[in-house]
Each structure stands twice: as C-alpha cells, then as structure tokens.
Amino acid sequence: MMKGSFMKTEALTNKQKFQKAPYLLLLPSFVLIAGLLFFPMARIFYYSLQNYDISAPFYDSFAGFDNFKRIFTEDKLFIPSLINSFKWIVSQVFFQLVFGLGIALLLNKKFKFRGLTRGFVFVPWAISGVLTSVMWSMMYNEHMGVFNDILMKIGIIHEPMAFLSSTTSAFIAVVIAELWRGIPFFAVTLLASLQSIPEELYEAGAMDGSNRLTDLIYITLPQLKKTIVLTTLLRTVWEFNNVDLLYNLTNGGPANSTMTYSMYIVKTAVNGSDFGYGSALTVVAFIILTLIALAYLKLSKFEEA
C-alpha cells in the first residue's frame, strides 16, 4: 500500500512539473517582450508627463498634463498632420488593396513561369525603405530623373519638374512611391488565401450560370473577408507609423504638405530633442490607433467571423 501510495505521489509530482514546463519554456520570450515592448511603452507614458528636453536639461521637470493641453489647444501642426495621416492611410490602404487583389487574382491563374513571376512581385516588399527612398528620389530628380524624361517625350510636360519640391505634386509623388513598395504585401497574403478557397465553390457557381464578376463578388470576396480585414488593419497601423520613406524623400515638406503625424513626432522628439512633448504626441497616437482598430473590427464584424 505504501509503495502504491508513493508511486501515485511521485506521478502527481511529475505531472505538476510537466505542467510548469511550458511556462518555464515561454518565460524567456515573456522577458524579451517585456524588455523590448512593455518597458519602452511604460517609459513613453512616463515621459509624456514630463518636461524632458535633452538640449535644455535645466528645464526638466514634472509637467503633468500640460503637454497634452498644449497638443489640443496650442499646437498648430497637430490637426494638419492628422489630416495628412488620414489622407496617407486612405490612399495607401485602398489602392494597395485594390492593386494587390488584382495582382493576386492574376498570379492565381496557371501560366508559364508563374513561380518566377511571383518572386519578382515580392521584390519591392523585400527592399529596405532607405534604398526605396534613394531609388525614387533619383527617378523623381528634376535634372536626371526618368519620370521627367518620359513625361517630356510624350508631351505631358514641356520642362523638367521638381516633383518632391512642389506642394501640389509632393504628396502624390510619395504616395506613388509607397504604393510600389506596399502592393506586394497584399498581393502575397491575398494570393495565399485565394489558394485555400475550395474549387468546388466555383464549380457549383458555374453550374448556376455564374461568371467571373459574380464569382468575385459572391465567392472570392466573402472567402477573403477575414484576410482582408486583418491585412488592411495591419497596413493601417504600419502606414500610420510610416516614417522612413517620407523622411528621406521630403522630410515632411515642402511647407508641411507631406507632414504626417508620425513624421511630426520624429521631428519633434528626435530632431527637436523635445522628448517630453514627443512622448505626449506618441501617447495620443497610441490612443487614436487603438480606437481605430476597435472601431474597424466592430464595423467589419470580424469577431462574428
């Protein structure tokens, strides 16, 4: 009896140890996430309540909610930068989704060298933002850019244009450059989802007299809903925080015409060394993105899907 009881106790102890094992294995990941994500976030919230300017440390002090009050009552670039961010996000996410879906539908067809073509489509997404900025700045160049050369040859313009230096063309120019980089993300993710749609659905539709347009509306898009919601939400967050391409192409100019909210944070905190006010702007951005994400998921009824 004692031996049996001892074996049961030992088995129970081993079971308890086994249950703890997954948490012990996950502990390094939790520590890493806390160190690289939650700790910096906590620091941002802390500095948002401080007067913290590394160029004038003698003025550093506790500010309370003064930084936030200044944002909503005194900051003349707060609303314009938000409007630019809204235009940037809408133009990027909408056109990237539309063109990405079109490319995904084409790549889902069977044709020669399909695998190689898929690889080339993904290339812009694999190129770094800095390299993309250099490439497009050279193409937009007023003196040696390929766009000026093409437009002059076909007669659309009669003299070279400084696309990135004009308030009328700078925003459109950076939108096009980012579209080139962002479309492959939607193309690849939507292509993966297209390949998971059962072929039987299209066969059933064909028996009912369906055509390509009705297949797209009633079969393809409903089957892609989950992927579309997730990818557009992710891309909205990424584009809201997009800085590298804008920073290298226009630096927010000319005349703040490409000054998005994230670009404004960078110029305030990094270039202006005002980390207290920059942190407050970041907290506001965090709240805005959280509300957008919750509202978007609610409106798309993603939780029901």
Q: How far apart are CA 196 and CA 223, in angstroms?
A: 9
- Cα(120)–Cα(175) distance, rounded to whole angstroms? 21
CA distance 86 to 184: 22
On the question of pLDDT at 278 being above 70, the answer is yes
Q: What is the mean pLDDT of residues 16-44?
A: 80
Per residue in 74-104, pLDDT (tens digit) is 999 999 999 999 999 999 999 999 999 999 9
CA angle 297, 303, 304 (to 5 degrees): 125
Summarize the confidence of residues 136-148 as an average pLDDT.
Answer: 88
Q: Looking at residues 221-243, what average pLDDT do you find? A: 90
* Two tokens, residue 130: 């800095």
State the chain's mean pLDDT as an integer: 85
pLDDT category of residue 18 using cuts at 50, 70 and 90: low
- According to the model, what pLDDT value does residue 24 have? 83
CB atoms within 10 A of CB 92: 23
pTM of the model: 0.84
Query: What is the pairing mode between strands 61-62 and 50-51?
Result: antiparallel
**Domains along the chain?**
82-260 (1.10.3720.10)
